[in-house]
Structure 1
Amino acid sequence: MTLPEVENLLLKLERGVLEVTLNRPESRNAMSLAMVADLNAVFDAMADERAIRVVILRGAGGHFCAGADLKQMMAGGMKPPVPGEIDPIVGFSRSFGSLLRKVTKLPAVVIAICEGAVLGGGFGFACVSDIAFAHVDAKFGLPETTRGLPPAQIAPFVVERIGLTQARKLCLTGAQFRGLEAQRLGIVHEAFSSEEELQTKLAETLKQILNCAPNANAVTKEIILNVAHQDMEFVLDDAAQKFAACVRGTEAPEGITAFMQKRAPKWAGGN
């Protein structure tokens, strides 16, 4: 696929693994209008792309993401909207919610590397990833209410990630906590204390993902994500149809034959 031109991200695509690095280190990778637009462009391009099997989301300069760029918002957003036009604050807020949904629904497996500031929108990205790693000293939190704002587009995804009870506490206190607590709460799956340890864990995880058939993984994500949003009878009926399509597709015959022949399937390892 052809990746879009972006100014606030670093993109690296190699053997089906796309590294997306938020690249505003001077602001701890705070979300500007331009960065949100860049991310939307990248994930729009990937919406139906099965050749990209993994997306690794990370921040430059030792920080994941410190949330919205409040300086930019306050500089241009206090004026009332022009009659007949969309309120720019509403537009910016809603575009970030749409971005989080796009990340959730990607057919690729999304891995978030959480270090430094993982606040506000950065917290939201952690919550919509499929797999998340956190540095033990990473600082997580939803500080919006301490600044007179609600975590409007982020809160629903926090509820989905860790449940209503824990989400209430985190959203309504603005409390900040470190990586091991994020692991205990279920925001992230594993913690690391050094780059070497992270790379070891990441390599093992990538190996596991790339041993899975890409279409089967994408279909599995669809089934899992339907559970919280659709009637269970619909989910099961839909899953049965997806299962049948996979049986008659190209991956299942190859995967089953490879298993019986005691060899790796053609897709294993990203080949």
Structure 2
Amino acid sequence: MSRRLRCALMLACVLLVAGCASAPDVPRIRIWHQKIGPERLFFERVVSQYNAENDDHVVEVLYRETEEARNLFVIASVGGKGPELLFGPSDNVSVLALTESIMPLNRVFDTAYLAQFNEEGVLSWNNQQWMVADQVGNHLMFVYNKRYISEPPATISEMISMLTELTGRPDITYGLTWNYTEPFFFLPFLTGYGGWVMDEEGRPSLNTEATVKAIRLILDLRDKYRVIPGTTDYDTAEATFKEQRVA
């Protein structure tokens, strides 16, 4: 899966208390996470400090890739095993809830407690609260090089005109680049035409005029205007932007 900004959420997995202590006198709270880079180092440092200050229980952390953590968590929960807490993206809530790997937080915490958190950080699904975020991410951003663009375009027409001019420069390979083969990055185009991936009943709603228009725009950027690469991925898009070969 491509790298992306994610909403890291902590699941209160109270169904999985059985088997949490390897020694009867030292309860262990196990946490699976998918943090990488500096965030992972910071997380592990805080846990080490916490353990040093508390001798009546121990917090253990284990890194697992996002999809691996989800799948193994579901399997482990069948036998009452697995971690007590899981950090992961909100994408997984339906799978974890439908498999009864987790229970709703509102069965554990009262309304007043959950109201302390920013409402965007408390994930609701099927009229239940399932996750509380320690950070809210997944913000898609339009990033531009001020060397080439003094003011970002305000409309699609302005963007196409600007990209066409920029792509014609000898020092720029393409005016714009992004991992457009990843559906995650398709959402701004879909919502720009008034569409969404689900209807109010939670059913897929992609067979719409908005979806057709959004796909057509991306195809035109590639095939008609030729202002984006024929194909790319996240790493290539990031590299070419940092090398100032795209605007």
Q: What TM-score results when the alignment is normalised by the length of structure 1?
A: 0.28
Looking at CA atoms only, which structure, 1 or 2, has the larger radius of gyration? 2
